[in-house]
């Protein structure tokens, strides 16, 4: 796994925040970041996001601007199949935990709904800005979106029979500048971890046909000390 998250201004922002706001943001950060994953980018330089090196993306955005996430996973499926599944955008909520829905508007444009902090939902329109069948999909949010981001997913055969590395690259500027990622970082490895988990779910769905779960299984009496 490759991870590259750039965060600054942390001290300035965290000093300004009360404990309650921190806690609320922390509890909801996974949802927020999940919505980011699916978003496309408005003002960002798109060619860079689609370029093969993460460094290129960062440089073209003027160094430390925004948050850059870079995650990959090996999946024992043919790259054609993986591309086709992903390209049907309404499939994405099946493995991206924080997406509620994706509706295709036309050949390029789509409408996205995701769970956001504090229990609200965010919606935006995005467009496909690169589409190389069986290899690459690139996207960005349209200008009016309040989440500014761009991203790409590459599907590359590994050389092993029926195996593909799926590589997601994503750059975004959260509504509160770098605050979202800064706070998220305090609570764990997000946003990389959030995207890592979504890719893990994609892999399970494509390989095993279902995503493993224990939610709803029998349990005895529990303690409030349990960590989840």
Partner 1 sequence: MKALVWHAKNDVRIETVPDPRILNPRDAIIRITSSAICGSDLHLLNGFIPTMQTGDVLGHEFMGEVVEVGAGNAKLKVGDRVVVPFTIACGHCFFCKSALWSLCDNSNPNAWMAEKLYGYATSGLFGYSHLTGGYAGGQAQYARVPFADVGPLKIPDEIPDEKVLFLSDILPTGYMAAENCDIKRGDVIAIWGCGPVGQMAIKSAWLLGAERVIAIDCVPERLEMASHSGLAETINYDREDVFDRLKSMTGGRGPDACIDAVGLESHGATFDAYLDEVKTSTFLATDRPSALRQAIHACRKGGIVSIPGVYGGFLDKIPFGAAFQKGLTFKMGQTHVMRYMQPLLDRIRDGELDPSFVITHRVPLDDAPQAYQMFRAREQGCIKVVLKPHDETARQVRH
In the structure encoding, which two tokens stand for residue 64, read together?
């430390």
* Total residues interacting with partner 1, rule: CB under 8 A: 31
In the structure encoding, which two tokens stand for residue 196, read together?
């890592």
In the structure encoding, which two tokens stand for residue 4, read together?
């590259």
**What is the full DSSP assignment across 58-97?**
HHHTTSS-SEEEEEEEEESS-HHHHHHHHHSGGGGGGT-T
Work out which of 15, 18, 143, 226 binds partner 1, going by CB under 8 A.
226
In the structure encoding, which two tokens stand for residue 74, read together?
């090996």
CB of 2 to partner 1, least distance (A): 15
Distance CA(29)–CA(12), nearest Å, equals: 19
User: Which residues inside 71-100 make contact with partner 1, applying CB under 8 A?
Assistant: 74, 76
Per-position x/- string for 169-198, each x denoting binding to partner 1 as judged by CB under 8 A, each - no binding: ------------------------x--xx-
Which one of 86-94, 124-132, 137-145, 219-227 is the stretch in contact with partner 1 (CB under 8 A)? 219-227
The set of residues, in sequence order, having a beta carbon less than 8 Å from that of 159 and lying 6+ positions away, is none
Which one of 60-68, 97-105, 125-133, 212-220 is the stretch in contact with partner 1 (CB under 8 A)? 212-220
In the structure encoding, which two tokens stand for residue 146, read together?
């309040």
Residue 159 in the binding site for partner 1 (CB under 8 A) = no
Work out which of 20, 107, 144, 215 binds partner 1, going by CB under 8 A.
215
Q: Are 115 and 100 in contact (CB under 8 A)?
A: yes
Residue 165 in the binding site for partner 1 (CB under 8 A) = no
| Closer Cβ to partner 1, 120 or 219, answer by number | 219
Distance CA(116)–CA(114), nearest Å, equals: 6
Compute the residue count for the chain: 228
CB of 189 to partner 1, least distance (A): 9
**Contacting positions for partner 1 (CB under 8 A):** 74, 76, 160, 163, 193, 196-197, 200, 203-204, 207-223, 225-228
């Amino acid at each position: 796994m490759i991870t590259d998250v750039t965060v600054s201004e942390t001290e300035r922002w965290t000093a300004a925040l009360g404990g309650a706001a921190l806690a609320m943001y922390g509890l909801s950060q996974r949802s927020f970041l999940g919505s980011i994953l699916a978003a496309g980018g408005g003002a960002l330089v798109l060619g860079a996001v689609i370029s093969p090196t993460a460094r290129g993306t960062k440089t073209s955005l003027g160094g430390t601007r925004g948050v850059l996430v870079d995650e990959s996973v090996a999946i024992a499926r043919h790259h054609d199949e993986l591309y086709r599944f992903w390209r049907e955008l309404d499939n994405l909520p099946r493995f991206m935990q924080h997406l509620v829905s994706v509706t295709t508007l036309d050949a390029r444009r789509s409408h996205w709904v995701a769970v956001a902090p504090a229990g609200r939902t965010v919606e935006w329109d995005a467009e496909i800005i690169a589409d190389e069948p069986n290899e690459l999909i690139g996207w960005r949010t349209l200008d009016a979106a309040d989440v500014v981001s761009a991203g790409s997913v590459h599907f590359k055969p590994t050389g092993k029979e029926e195996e593909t590395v799926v590589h997601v690259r994503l750059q975004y500027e959260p509504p509160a500048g770098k605050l979202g990622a800064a706070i998220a970082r305090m609570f764990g490895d997000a946003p990389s971890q959030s995207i890592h988990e979504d890719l893990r779910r994609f892999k399970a769905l494509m390989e095993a046909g279902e995503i493993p779960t224990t939610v709803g299984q029998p349990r005895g009496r529990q303690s409030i000390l349990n960590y989840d």
